[in-house]
C-alpha cells in the first residue's frame, strides 16, 4: 500500500452502553431492520438531509450477537470507495444491559472527504433510541 492510499483508509469505532439484552438488540439490528423507523423515528426518518444506502450482509454471528454489512450503493458511496460496518453486542459484566460496539472500516475517495465521525455519532444516537424503544416494549 502506498503512503497516499494509506491516508485514505481508516477505522473508527465506539461503544454504547444500553439496557437491552444482547439478543434483543442484535435481533432488531439484523432481523427486524424494517422496524427501525418506528424504533428510531427522529433519526431514521428526519436526520437532516435524507441519505440512502443499500448494503449486503457479509456475515451474521447470532451466537456472538455480531454482524457485518458492506455498503454497496447510495449516498455514502459518493465519498467512499468502500465502507464496512460491523457491530457486536455483548452482555455487561455483573449487571443488566449490554455494550454495543460499532466498528467502521472505510476507504475515502480522496483527501477532501471527512472521516465518518458524524456517521459514528449517528449510529450511537440511533442505538440509544432503539434501546429505549425495546425497553418500552417490556
Question: Cα(91)–Cα(2) distance, rounded to whole angstroms?
Answer: 40
Which helix (DSSP H) or strand (DSSP E) does residue 132 occupy? helix 117-136
Say yes or no to pLDDT of 104 above 90: yes
pLDDT at 55: 85
| Sign, CA torsion 24/28/18/91 | positive
Which pTM value belongs to this model?
Answer: 0.83
pLDDT digits (tens, 9 = 90+) for 45-83: 544 556 677 888 899 999 999 999 999 998 889 999 999
Q: Picking from 13-27, 34-48, 86-100, which range would have the lowest pLDDT averaged per residue?
A: 34-48
Cβ proximity of 90 and 101 under 8 Å: yes
- Cα-Cα-Cα-Cα dihedral of 109, 114, 115, 118, to 10°? -130
Amino acid at each position: 500500500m502506498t503512503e497516499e492510499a494509506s491516508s485514505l483508509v481508516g477505522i473508527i469505532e465506539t461503544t454504547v452502553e444500553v439496557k437491552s439484552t444482547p439478543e434483543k438488540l442484535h435481533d432488531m439490528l439484523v432481523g427486524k431492520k424494517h422496524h427501525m423507523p418506528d424504533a428510531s423515528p427522529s433519526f431514521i426518518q428526519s436526520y437532516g438531509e435524507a441519505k440512502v444506502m443499500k448494503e449486503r450482509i457479509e456475515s451474521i454471528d447470532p451466537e456472538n450477537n455480531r454482524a457485518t454489512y458492506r455498503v454497496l450503493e447510495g449516498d455514502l458511496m459518493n465519498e467512499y470507495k468502500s465502507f464496512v460496518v460491523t457491530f457486536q453486542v455483548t452482555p455487561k459484566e455483573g449487571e443488566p444491559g449490554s455494550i454495543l460496539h460499532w466498528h467502521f472500516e472505510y476507504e475515502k475517495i480522496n483527501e477532501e472527504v471527512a472521516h465518518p465521525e458524524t456517521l459514528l455519532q449517528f449510529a450511537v444516537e440511533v442505538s440509544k433510541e432503539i434501546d429505549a424503544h425495546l425497553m418500552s416494549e417490556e
